[in-house]
Structure 1
């Protein structure tokens, strides 16, 4: 119950920050260009700093084993999303729209939403475990995700996936963790300060994205609610049932549940814009699922407390 209340409190706080971003955009304080720059800063520098910061912890065999387990579970969760997304049929809709809906169903907002929630509940251990999810997430979005939107596979995108800032930070941070190499105090302080920007900046950016959405159209679309149901309820409910029967550490279970319960990824809009998806649909499913998760995530965590 404590975790559910912590999640609820954190989600409400995050939505206050989202509202700040929303208002700032509507009054002209933020521009699209500024938002893209801040978004890139969060996804590259801040995310990398957060991962490096979490790897500056004492090594032990249990953490290493759990990291490997989280990677396997992450792959399974994403492939579960691929299977569930097949519910969304092509009838009456063009390829771009359905592909974008499926992308939103498969890929959760693990960075912008997942990390702040993990920090509030599991702490840096949760972010440490989540780094395994980022590997699977990056590899799949740049391969399966792009293939879904474009209808073709470009092998060059695999290079893009493995050279993303999140992956590079893991490549640097993991050996430091294994061999217990620590940053000098001033560097460690700087990295920690950058990591602390994750929650406020990511939420403000999300608010700016929501401010650019036609809210009336988004909230009156039945298909948006179908995608939100699949992403926020069906997939995490299946993950919850699987985790309940597995003999895993509580921190591992809660990390995977929170990541799977996160709303549609911000990347749904970014990838749709870059690879020919339906940008309006992407914006709608991101906005509605993000707003609805204030109810669904605490509810799922509460159920998990009763089961675990």
Structure 2
């Protein structure tokens, strides 16, 4: 029911985006402005808020372990996705590879993790989210740009989201707490990230014929990799390590979430298969209604 509730909320916001584009409430100029707001204001504030937890001494070792698992499992996901996508050519491969690596950990993942593991799971989820953002603005940019230049490096390490990661890590290490009025304001604005991103997906879907949404075979193939193959690969690593801790279960389940909406945001910014990327996010989110409950039962035993 938690999965269904979150997914239905996402679909409703997507439909608002579709309606807004069809009624010409949102045009290309407004859509560009929404992306700028998301990337330069709401997302950085959301990242900073994800670090708002007590970094107590007894949690230090667990936080370090969750950091190691997050990095290692991102690398495993990259390798598995790259191998599975070898048969696919063109820019669609970039979209699917990006979607396979980066899960929707915020809007879909966190409520599920919170319901299963409570506050402890949310801490590990926040650590994963930190690694997510570092990979997003490094490897994620490289996927679309195909090269690492000086200008790219500058954009990667000095963009607002990565600066937010620097601030968040500093807050976490020194256990700095924002004043309540600042925290509440940044939280309210940061929480706008998901609605804005899903509306942007809806705006892109508005230009796609309904029949085209469900006839893209490569999208189903990519969704199987994202929602089943990668999580199961990580599950076998869990068995090899003989670790059934909340830490490893949290990280694996987050990786089993549908494609992040940043898939569409990046495809628009890099002008790569924009409509296709919106369909990827839509289909993987739709299929996750079935796969997430299965993965929860399968992974947690």
TM-score (norm 1): 0.79
Structure 2 unmatched runs, 5+ = none
Q: Is 1:88 equivalent to 2:88 in the alignment?
A: no
Q: Equivalent residue for 1:79? A: 75
- Can you list the C-alpha shifts for 1:59-110, whole angstroms capped at 9, x where unaligned? 312433333223222222222222222222357x43x333333333333334
Give the Cα–Cα distance (whole angstroms) in 1 for the partners of residues 50 and 175 of structure 2.
Answer: 12
Asked if structure 1 preserves the Cα contact closer than 8 Å seen for 2:257 and 2:292, the reply is yes
Q: Equivalent residue for 2:287? A: 292
Report the 3-state secondary structure (helix = DSSP H, G, I; strand = E; otherwise coil) of the residue aligned with 2:84: coil
Give the Cα–Cα distance (whole angstroms) in 1 for the partners of residues 226 and 196 of structure 2.
Answer: 24
Q: Using the TM superposition, name which of 99-108 and 139-148 deviates more.
A: 139-148
Asked if structure 1 preserves the Cα contact closer than 8 Å seen for 2:137 and 2:162, the reply is no
Report the 3-state secondary structure (helix = DSSP H, G, I; strand = E; otherwise coil) of the residue aligned with 1:37: helix
Distance change (3 Å), C-alpha of 1:201 and 1:141: closer
Asked if structure 2 preserves the Cα contact closer than 8 Å seen for 1:235 and 1:261, the reply is yes
Q: Equivalent residue for 1:99? A: 94
For residue 64 of structure 2, the aligned residue among 64, 68, 88 is 68
Asked if structure 1 preserves the Cα contact closer than 8 Å seen for 2:54 and 2:175, the reply is yes
- Can you list the C-alpha shifts for 1:189-241, whole angstroms capped at 9, x where unaligned? 32233244345444444433433434422311211111111111111222234
Give the Cα–Cα distance (whole angstroms) in 1 for the partners of residues 194 and 272 of structure 2.
Answer: 28
Q: Is 1:35 equivalent to 2:37 in the alignment?
A: no
Give the Cα–Cα distance (whole angstroms) in 2 for the partners of residues 167 and 39 of structure 1.
Answer: 17
Q: Equivalent residue for 2:255? A: 260
Q: Equivalent residue for 1:272? A: 267
- Can you list the C-alpha shifts for 1:19-50, whole angstroms capped at 9, x where unaligned? 33333333333334333433443344333333
Q: Using the TM superposition, name which of 55-64 and 135-144 deviates more.
A: 135-144
Structure 1 unmatched runs, 5+ = none
Q: Using the TM superposition, name which of 116-125 and 237-246 deviates more.
A: 116-125
Report the 3-state secondary structure (helix = DSSP H, G, I; strand = E; otherwise coil) of the residue aligned with 1:30: coil
Give the Cα–Cα distance (whole angstroms) in 1 for the partners of residues 287 and 162 of structure 2.
Answer: 30
> RMSD of the alignment, in Å?
3.2
Quote the offset at 1:299 in angstroms: 2.5
Q: Is 1:16 equivalent to 2:5 in the alignment?
A: no
Q: Is 1:237 equivalent to 2:207 in the alignment?
A: no
Distance change (3 Å), C-alpha of 1:174 and 1:104: closer
Distance change (3 Å), C-alpha of 1:109 and 1:211: farther
Distance change (3 Å), C-alpha of 1:38 and 1:264: same
Q: How many residues align?
A: 299
Give the Cα–Cα distance (whole angstroms) in 1 for the partners of residues 11 and 152 of structure 2.
Answer: 34
Give the Cα–Cα distance (whole angstroms) in 1 for the partners of residues 111 and 159 of structure 2.
Answer: 21
Quote the offset at 1:260 in angstroms: 0.8
Q: Equivalent residue for 1:157? A: 152
Give the Cα–Cα distance (whole angstroms) in 2 for the partners of residues 160 and 123 of structure 1.
Answer: 36
Asked if structure 2 preserves the Cα contact closer than 8 Å seen for 1:49 and 1:192, the reply is yes
Asked if structure 2 preserves the Cα contact closer than 8 Å seen for 1:49 and 1:191, the reply is yes
Map 1:44-193 onto structure 2 (within 5 A). 44-85=40-81, 86-90=83-87, 93-94=89-90, 96-111=91-106, 113-115=108-110, 117-118=112-113, 126=121, 128-193=123-188
Quote the offset at 1:147 in angstroms: 3.7
Give the Cα–Cα distance (whole angstroms) in 2 for the partners of residues 63 and 136 of structure 1.
Answer: 18
Give the Cα–Cα distance (whole angstroms) in 1 for the partners of residues 168 and 145 of structure 2.
Answer: 33
